[in-house]
């Protein structure tokens, strides 16, 4: 991973879950890790909602200027957000708003997203209506790039149905990412999988003849128990 990883994806794609998992795993390897919650468009499942859990692990959590309040989502960003972007000692994960409008916030920080030090990744969930076909995925990627002036450098397959997720869901998402890769050259980086499904997914991959899927074990930090 680059020092700064920008994670975007449509609402409901699971980009925040991916962002939190990446931050927690980075903390196992690096002393200074930060997560920047720049999702000021979506009031649900924001990484700041797991602030205490991540801070207890030693992860810096940055978001708006008014502190933590899940009942209010004001588009006012804290100047402290710049700290992990400017300090080269930090590994930073940036949780970005879901669509091109949400990604606009990146423009005010663009000077920090230099080539070689940062990368923009798109989360694909083919069980969401906005990204359930090739046309929708390509449109999403193109609008993000047009709005931010940044090139998407990788695809994350996070196709799921919460507790109803099957290996087939993940494989279908992987196949979509490979189609996008063939058309755009943007590589599939990895496919997420709940830890309890990994062996089933490996078996399903063997049956499908898939031998190049990078599997990323994921925990469900963001889902309330009533949604599991």
Q: What is the CATH number of the domain that holds 137?
A: 3.40.50.300
Q: Which residue has the higher pLDDT, 92 or 81?
A: 92
Domain region containing 63: 4-227
Domain count, the chain: 1
Q: pLDDT by residue (tens digit) across 35-72?
A: 998 875 555 455 566 788 999 999 999 876 445 544 44
Q: Taking Cα atoms as reference points, which of 101, 175, 90, 107 lies closest to residue 140?
A: 101
Which pTM does this prediction carry?
0.87
> What distance in Å separates the CA atoms of residue 95 and residue 35, rounded to the nearest whole number?
7
Q: pLDDT by residue (tens digit) across 114-150?
A: 778 999 999 999 999 889 999 999 999 999 899 888 8
- The encoded tokens of residue 8 equal 């975007």
Q: pLDDT by residue (tens digit) across 140-191?
A: 999 989 988 889 999 999 999 988 999 999 999 999 999 999 999 999 999 9
Q: What's the pLDDT at 100?
A: 57
């Amino acid at each position: 991973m680059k020092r700064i990883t920008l994670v975007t994806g449509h609402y409901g794609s699971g980009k925040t879950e991916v962002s939190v998992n990446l931050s927690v795993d980075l903390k196992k390897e690096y002393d200074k890790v930060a997560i920047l919650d720049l999702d000021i468009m979506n009031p649900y499942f924001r990484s700041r909602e797991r602030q205490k859990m991540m801070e207890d692990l030693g992860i810096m959590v940055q978001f708006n200027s008014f502190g933590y309040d899940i009942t209010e989502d004001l588009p006012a960003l804290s100047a402290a957000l710049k700290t992990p972007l400017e300090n080269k000692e930090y590994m930073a994960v940036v949780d970005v708003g879901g669509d091109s409008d949400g990604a606009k916030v990146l423009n005010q920080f663009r000077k920090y997203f230099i080539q070689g030090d940062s990368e923009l990744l798109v989360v694909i969930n083919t069980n969401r209506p906005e990204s359930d076909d090739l046309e929708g995925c390509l449109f999403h990627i193109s609008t993000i790039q047009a709005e931010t002036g940044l090139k998407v450098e990788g695809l994350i397959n996070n196709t799921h149905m919460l507790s109803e997720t099957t290996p087939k869901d993940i494989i279908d998402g992987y196949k979509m990412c490979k189609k996008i890769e063939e058309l755009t050259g943007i590589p599939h980086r990895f496919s997420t999988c709940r830890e309890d499904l990994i062996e089933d997914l490996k078996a399903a991959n063997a049956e499908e003849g898939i031998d190049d899927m990078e599997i990323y074990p994921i925990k469900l930090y963001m889902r309330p128990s009533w949604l599991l």
